Amino acid sequence: MAAISLRQVVKRYGSGATANPVIHGVDAEITDGEFVVIVGPSGCGKSTLLRMVAGLEAISGGQIAIGGRVVNDIEPSERDIAMVFQNYALYPHFKVFDNMAYGLRIRKLPEAEVKARVEKAARTLELSHLLDRKPRQLSGGQRQRVAMGRAIVRQPQVFLFDEPLSNLDAKLRAQTRLEIKKLHAELGVTSLFVTHDQVEAMTLAERMIVMNAGRIEQIGTPEQVYLKPATTFVAGFIGSPPMNLLAGQAAGSRFTVGSTTLALPAPAPRDGALLLGVRPEHAAVLTGPGAEGWPMQVEMLEMLGAERLVYSRIGGSAFTLRIDGMLTPPRPGDMLALKVATDQVHWFDPVNGQRVEPRTG
C-alpha cells in the first residue's frame, strides 16, 4: 500500500510577523498506484509541495502520510521514495551501470542482485547498449532515462518527478512522455509528477492537481479539468489557446458584452454581472446569406498546419477561434457569425472566479 495523503499541509519561510506563507493548507489524496500530476505556473508552490513529500523541505503545519505512515519527521532516506530531478544529477565520472547501481551499493545489496536489478531496468528503458558509457557520451534524453533507471532499481513505494523533461527539446519531451507512461503502466508504482507544462500534465496524468499561489484550484482527471474548469484560473491555464472569457451582463437568454448583445443558446444561470467562457474550438462559423450568430470581427490569423487560430473581437473583448487549417480562411476585417452549443458555454463569477453552474429544470 503506497497511497499519499496530504492533510492541511502548510509551508512558511521565516517565523512570527515576518513569516512568508507559500503553501496554504493543501489537502489531497493520491491512491495506491495512481499517476498524479501537479501543474501550475512558476512560483505556485508545486515543487515545494513535492519536496515536502520527499522530506527535502520541512513542513510548517499539517500532515503527510505515505503508505499509511505519517512521515512528517522521517528522514528522506527512510521514506521509501525515489526522486527524478530536472538536471539528471548523474555522476560524470561513473559509467551508466555504476550511476544506476550506486544507491543499491550504498545499501550494501549483494552484487548479484545489484547487477540483476540494473540490467532489468536497462532493458525496460532500452539502455542495455549504453551501460558502459559515461554521461558525457549520452544525449539529454538518454541521460534522463538513466536518471529514471536509477530510481527504478530502488523499487520504491513512490516515484517523485520534479520537472524531469524541462531540459529536453520538444521531440525528446514527447518521446520521453511516452516512455514514462509505458513505464508506469508496467510498474504500477504510485507517482507524483510536477510540471509547469499543461501538455505534459494532460498527456501523463490519471488525475491532475492544478495549483495557483500555494493553493489547489482543482483536482480531477484531465477531461474533467478541461471540460469543466472550476475557476477562471483553471480555464485560462489549461488549454492552448486558453478559454475565451467575456465579461458582461446577463439577462435571461441575453448577454451584453460592451455595446453588443449576444443571444444565448440557453438562459444564463443568473442575471447580472458574469463571465462567459468558450473554448476556441467550441465555436463554429455560420455560413450562408443572412446567417445570424454572435458577431465577431477578425483581427489576425495564425496558420498552424492542420488548424488556424483566428484572433478577433466580440463587443470589444478579445476572442480566439480555432478552425480547420484546410478551409478557406477569413481575412482581417471580416465580420463572422458564430454559433456556440449550450453545453459548450461556461459561466464564472467575476468577483471570486468560481464556476457558476447552469440553471436546472
Per-residue pLDDT tens over the stretch 334-359: 999 999 988 899 999 999 999 999 87
Is 168 in contact with 92 (CB distance < 8 Å)? no
CA 13/CA 60 separation, integer angstroms: 8
How would residue 289 be classed by pLDDT, with cut points 50, 70 and 90? low
**Residue 97 is inside which H or E element, if any?**
helix 96-106
Residue-level pLDDT at 125: 87
Residue-level pLDDT at 288: 62
**Residue 106 is inside which H or E element, if any?**
helix 96-106
For residues 171-182, average pLDDT? 86
Helix, strand and coil in the chain, % to nearest 5: 30, 35, 35
Residue-level pLDDT at 276: 97
Strands, E, within 154-288: which ranges?
A: 158-162, 190-195, 207-212, 215-220, 244-251, 254-257, 260-263, 272-278, 283-286
Is 225 in contact with 279 (CB distance < 8 Å)? no
CA 67/CA 85 separation, integer angstroms: 22
The mean of the pLDDT values for the chain is: 93
Break the chain into its structural domains and give their ranges: 4-233, 241-348
How would residue 175 be classed by pLDDT, with cut points 50, 70 and 90? confident
Q: What is the pLDDT of residues 11-30, one digit of tens each?
A: 999 887 788 999 999 999 99
How would residue 174 be classed by pLDDT, with cut points 50, 70 and 90? confident
Residue-level pLDDT at 210: 98
For residues 96-113, average pLDDT? 93
Please check the confidence at residue 121 and state whether its pLDDT lies above 80. yes
Q: What is the pLDDT of residues 299-310, one digit of tens each?
A: 999 999 999 999
pTM above 0.95, yes or no: no
4-233 in CATH: which number?
A: 3.40.50.300
Report, at the CATH architecture level, how domain 241-348 is classified: Beta Barrel (2.40)
Q: What is the pLDDT of residues 233-257, one digit of tens each?
A: 999 999 989 999 999 999 999 999 9
Q: What is the pLDDT of residues 193-235, one digit of tens each?
A: 999 999 999 999 999 999 999 999 999 999 999 999 999 999 9
Q: Measure CA 102 to chain center.
A: 32
How would residue 130 be classed by pLDDT, with cut points 50, 70 and 90? very high
